[in-house]
A = this chain, B = another copy of it.
Amino acid sequence: MELDERKVKILKAIVMNYLETGEPVGSRTISKYSDLNLSSATIRNEMADLEEMGYIVQPHTSAGRVPTDAGYRFYVDRLMEEKEEVEEVKGTLLERVDRMELLLKQVAKVLACNTNYATLVTAPNYKKTVKFIQLSLVDSSNLLAVIVVDGNIIKNQMIRLNVMLDTEDVLKFNILLNTFLQGASLEDINLEMIQEMKKQSGEYADILDHIFQGITEAIHEAQEIDIYTSGATNILKYPELGDIQKTSELLEKFEDKEELTQLIEGTVGEDDSGIQVFIGEETPVQNMKDCSLVTATYQMPEGAKGKIGIIGPKRMDYKKVVNTLKNLTIELDDIFKKGREVTNDE
């Protein structure tokens, strides 16, 4: 069977109507609603075909039709024109470039407010290099390690001492650490390097051991893919996700960064830049089968990439979501570009 123009028009009408109302849409509705002047009977025939082709289904015999995953997919890929209204969001985010963390948190929040879906944002996964590292003696038994990584991600680690150190010792350590670690990418920091440093540190070798432990811990922390979420409870607002049981399991996932990482990692592949839409079963995670996931990839000038994701019901306003995401990534790219200019402006 062929998907001629008229069928496409009808399919589009069905999807759009369903997105709007959430009710199964019947032939009569379409016959009045759409501009092709056809009787409901004709529409019915076409609908029967569309059903056979797998784009729509009836929840039950005497109901209208509802899009299947394939139906949504076709809509998203081919029918949804994305246009206009590009502005509005602007200006909301433009501050706070200096701390990646805060910026991304804000992105998640703004997005959740704007769309009324659940959102998540991952920090870019660029090769992080140590920009700056410093030990300070906070008091006689606590040494504070501050590590600044590219992108101005700051990690602190308190290291408890059981030996007295004076400021001069600390100064030495600092020089040593910076000599070795500054500019090193986090993966480069390995045992070998540490051995070498120990050698050079002479008498302090064992204290250094202790300190290293703290620093590597902090570095590990910095290396973790950070994920920020917002608006998780929005998921509860969509009654079509009726099964509270499942929904609350999904919500629990949202509390757990580990699982989220998995989720978002599951989306890499294929078209790794731009917008990706996962509908229902396409979704990379169990008990999200009634939801859709839309992700966007933003990029930093150095090529580092991060993701922004939106989770909502399958019956999601894809157009709006895709548009919003597009704008936001553009804006983000922009912010990073500017930020970078300033920073490189040295």
Contacts and interface: CB of A to CB of B under 8 A. Distances in A.
Interface in A224-251: 230-233, 236-237, 244, 247-248, 251
Nearest to A96: B158
A156 B230 CA distance: 23
A138 B142 contact: no
A336 to B, nearest CB: 15
A99 B152 CA distance: 21
B154 A156 contact: yes
Interface residues of A, number: 36
Q: Is the interface of A mostly helix, strand, loop or mixed?
A: mixed
Contacts of A232: 255
Interface in A140-180: 140-142, 144, 146, 148, 152, 154, 156, 158-160
Contacts of A251: 233, 236
Contacts of A237: 248
Interface stretch (A2-10, A47-55, A128-136): A128-136
B148 A146 contact: no
Contact of A148 (B144, B152, B160): B144
A139 B248 contact: no
Interface stretch (A16-24, A30-38, A338-346): A338-346
Contact of A140 (B138, B154, B230, B346): B346
A282 interface: no
B233 A255 contact: yes
A252 interface: yes
Closest 9 CB pairs of A and B: A236-B248, A98-B158, A154-B156, A132-B138, A233-B251, A140-B346, A233-B252, A138-B148, A146-B146
